[in-house]
Amino acid sequence: MKKMKTTKIVNKAVVLLLSAILISSISAVVADTPETLSAVKASKMVGSNSLGEVELGYYNLDTLQNVIGLTSPGTWASAIRLTQDELSSYAGWDMTKIVVALTVDNGQTEVYADLIIYGEGTPTAPGSIIYEVDDLFFDTSQFYEIEINGSIPLDDHNEIWIAMWWEQTEEAAFIAYADEGPAVDGKGDWCNLGSGWDELQEFGTPPLDYNWGMGAVIEGTNAELTIGNIKGPIGVNAGISNVGEIAAENVEYTMTITGGILGNVNTTVSDSIATLAVGAEEAISSGLLIGFGGIDIVITAKADNAVETTVSRSGFLLGFLVIGIS
């Protein structure tokens, strides 16, 4: 079998002291299934994900320090489910890579796995296979990028399940990374021990309430927010514009004004906009301000499909008039 071409996106691993076993053995959900899940604290923690594209996933990188495996050899899957909650903001985008964090430092020095991507099924099981690549080879503990040949258009699928089917050849080998949770119910913690799909949190006492360290990298055109037309004189007024090529979804903004001669000006206004169309501008205002002296103005705006932007200005409050904004 040929080795998979990989891109190492972790420049430096954070070494942790091996801690006590969290879960040593758990009964399988299905009695006829001999495999059981176990989890230990990882002795090595993967580093930062430095991808330039948008990654859809559920794990918390700061707590990605658990590794999961079977107590006995077998084939099993870790999986995540992406729904319209995650996909709807990226109309016209394509899934181009899968990212998965794994270790070969805990009982199995070489790991083979199959990547299978499924379409919509039910809330508890995937549908038909839409992409598959077999016999991927891993021999280093890190984040791996797995290129999708030809990409997968998000518009073609209401839901997407991403599963890594692991070939575990050793007893008590811990392979797939997971965070400290809590798991995103119905999405971040699916597993299959050979007898159907269950959530990882259904195992263990206390439950393995974790999210798998995996995600989907997508590429496309983002919305782009700008903040401008900042002026007085009655309060501070501004406009948030979408200068991108697609509508901005779930726009959130905050305007904070502080200062005054005695520091008595401290106003924050925040709100959200469900959709901001291409070329549209949303007017925002602090409302009436009263005071005297210099003021600092900070306005921040972000969206589900647009990076956060911040603008800072200063001005002067003269009674109820705002002047000299620059």
Distance in angstroms between the alpha carbons of the first and the last residue of the chain: 64
Q: Does one domain contain both 156 and 230? A: no
Say how many domains are in the chain. Answer: 2
Please report which confidence band the pLDDT of residue 13 belongs to, taking 50, 70 and 90 as the band edges: very low
Are both 164 and 243 inside the same structural domain? no
Q: What is the CATH number of the domain that holds 257?
A: 2.60.40.10
Choose one of 219, 254, 282: the last residue of a domain.
219
- pLDDT tens sequence across 160-210: 999 999 999 999 899 999 999 999 999 999 999 988 999 999 998 889 999
171 assigned to some structural domain: yes
Closest CA to 307 of 230, 221, 238: 221
Of 11-15, 239-243, 317-321, the poorest mean pLDDT is in 11-15
Residues 170 and 194 in one domain: yes
Cα separation, 233 vs 301, in Å, equals 22
Question: In the predicted model, is pLDDT for residue 237 greater than 50?
Answer: yes
Specify the pLDDT at position 16.
19
The structure tokens listed for 218 are 């997508």
Q: Residue holding tokens 């263990």? A: 204
Asked if the structure places residue 6 within a domain, the reply is: no
Residues 204 and 58 in one domain: yes
Are 212 and 232 in a shared domain? no
Residue 37 in contact with residue 23, Cβ under 8 Å?
yes
Same domain, 178 and 288: no
Q: Do 140 and 250 share a domain, yes or no? A: no
**By residue range, what is the domain housing residue 41?**
14-219
Residues 149 and 39 in one domain: yes
* pLDDT of 22 above 50: no
Do 254 and 169 reside in the same domain of the chain? no
- Report pLDDT for 94: 93
Give domain status of residue 2, yes or no.
no
pLDDT digits over 254-307, tens only? 999 999 998 999 999 999 999 999 999 999 999 999 999 999 999 999 998 888
Q: Which residues of 68-79 are buried (b: 16+ CB within 10 A; e: fewer)?
A: bbbbebbbbbbb
Count of alpha carbons within 13 angstroms of residue 148, beta-carbon side: 22
Q: Give residue for tokens 């942790």.
A: 16
Per-residue tokens: 227: 């903040």
Rg, the chain, Cα only: 25
pLDDT bin (cut points 50, 70, 90) of residue 28 is: very low
State pTM to two decimals: 0.68
Res 1 pLDDT > 60: no
Task: Assess if residue 60 is contained within a domain.
Answer: yes
Beta strands 142-153 and 94-102, pairing class = antiparallel
Give a yes or no: residue 8 inside a domain.
no
Is residue 34 domain-shared with residue 136, that is, in the same domain? yes
Mean pLDDT in residue range 90-109? 90
State percent of the chain over pLDDT 70: 85
Residues 194, 245, single domain; the answer is no
Asked if residue 138 has pLDDT above 50, the reply is yes
Asked if pLDDT for residue 107 goes beyond 80, the answer is yes
Q: Are 255 and 110 found together in one domain?
A: no
Query: Does residue 51 have a pLDDT over 60?
Result: no
Contact 51, 99 (CB under 8 A): yes
Q: Is 175 in contact with 119 (CB distance < 8 Å)?
A: no
